[in-house]
Amino acid sequence: MKDSPTPVRWKLWLLLVTSLYPVITITVTVAEPVLTRLPVYGRFALIVPVMVALMVWVVVPLIQRYLGAWLVRG
């Protein structure tokens, strides 16, 4: 079995920061009017799973598809 190349850590960090920021900002902005009556911990309990799902099933696969070769290049 062929070993797959490991992403360069700083590139992975950069892409995750730049992709996570808009996901957090948009999710919180959209959910705020709906969840405003909940305490902060209740809002986080609902928002965090949505953000993680977006990252795992939407954002990270797109990053891998379009920038995967760049990620593993030294």
| Residue 1 domain-assigned (yes or no) | no
3-state secondary structure of 37: coil
**23 falls within a domain:** yes
Q: What is the pTM (predicted TM-score) of this model?
A: 0.79
Kindly report, residue by residue over 16-50, the tens digit of the pLDDT: 999 999 999 999 999 999 999 999 999 999 999 99
Domain count of the chain? 1
Work out the pLDDT band at 1, boundaries 50, 70, 90: low
Question: Does a structural domain hold residue 35?
Answer: yes
Cα angle vertex 39, ends 35, 42, to 5°? 70
Describe the chain by its helix, strand, coil percentages, rounded to 5: 80, 0, 20
Residue 7 in domain: no
Q: How far apart are alpha carbons 10 and 67 in whole angstroms?
A: 14
